[in-house]
Homo-oligomer: A and B are copies of this chain.
Amino acid sequence: MRSIVRRWIISVASPWLLLAMATAQAAESLSSWNEGPAKAAILEFVGKVTKQGSPDFVPPPERIATFDNDGTLWAEQPMYFQLLFTLDRIKALAPRHPEWVGKEPFASLLKGDVNAALAGGDKALLELVMATHADMTTEAFEAIVKDWIATARHPKTKKLYSEMVYQPMLELLAYLRGNGFKTFIVSGGGIEFMRPWAEKVYGVPPEQVIGSSIKTKYALRNGKPALVRLPEVNFIDDKEGKPVGINQHIGRRPIAAFGNSDGDLQMLQWTTAGEGARFALYVHHTDGEREWAYDRNSKVGRLDKGLDEARAKGWTVVDMKQDWKVIFPAETR
């Protein structure tokens, strides 16, 4: 009898014990964060919105947290990784496009001169993007992205791009989820560029990834229904577009938002302008040794107006050099 009871206890209790352990772990899981004002602000905010009976309590369905991707969850230097993907794809596709040798921006790129290729500004960029992102099914594009993320390496660090995510932010995502938050990515990057790997790398499922997009069209391909990617911009999920994208996809205002650049400013404004307890955090790239140091004058991930507004409004600013024990997951091994 006792052994039956014990077996039953173990069978019913063990999932709960695991859950209890997971929760306890969650509270202690910001282990790559040094003690300091940034970590303290996170713990204080999560503590008060999750405490039953607290005036700041927020019911779980409303615990929406939105994260920028480039420069907030993974690195973005010397240029956005999706641009590096684009350049890799141009090279891979060049044999099928002999005409590119005589046509900008492709010609410069194939000669290895990225700056000359991008000198044409948004128009040149759009041409490169459409040549590599459109005129194929969503499934074909997904397969290309999955292959790239599994094999391509960063020009400077030689790491896989999925290894250049920020360990403290992975912990923060898990910590928030452990406290009943639903975590979303809200990025200027391509929605279909992030979805194929965001679940594995960040624990964020495709339906919680918001980003820029091109149009798609429902069509029959070889007699089977398919969605074909068109060379036409659908939505730019940056700056003023971030609150718009959040509203389109989530339909609720986040209570916490995380970014690193002026492109995230409107998301942080929109988030903090809601009623009740709100949290806004900027990751400030201050560590030129372990990562990159840049802010007001950077072409990529410029943080200028946002830094001023963060200081004026008392938002949390992470000093990567001071606040983070490690930057990338490999450093924890």
Contact = CB atoms under 8 A, between A and B. Distances in A.
Interface stretch (A8-16, A29-37, A309-317): A8-16
Given A216-B247, A243-B227, A247-B227, A252 B206 contact: yes
A36 B257 CA distance: 50
Interface in A233-269: 234, 240-241, 243-244, 247-252, 266, 269
A23 to B, nearest CB: 14
A213 interface: yes
A13 B17 CA distance: 11
A147 interface: no
Interface of A: 5, 8-9, 12-13, 15-17, 61, 64, 138, 182, 191-192, 195, 199, 205-209, 213, 216-218, 224-225, 227, 234, 240-241, 243-244, 247-252, 266, 269-270, 273
Contact of A13 (B13, B138, B243, B266): B13
A221 B225 CA distance: 44
Nearest to A207: B250
A13 B7 CA distance: 13
Contact of A247 (B138, B244, B248, B252): B138
B273 A225 contact: yes
28 contacts: A5-B5, A5-B9, A8-B9, A9-B12, A9-B13, A12-B12, A12-B13, A12-B16, A15-B16, A64-B207, A138-B247, A195-B251, A206-B251, A206-B252, A207-B207, A207-B252, A209-B251, A213-B248, A216-B244, A216-B248, A217-B244, A218-B240, A218-B244, A225-B243, A225-B273, A227-B247, A227-B270, A234-B248
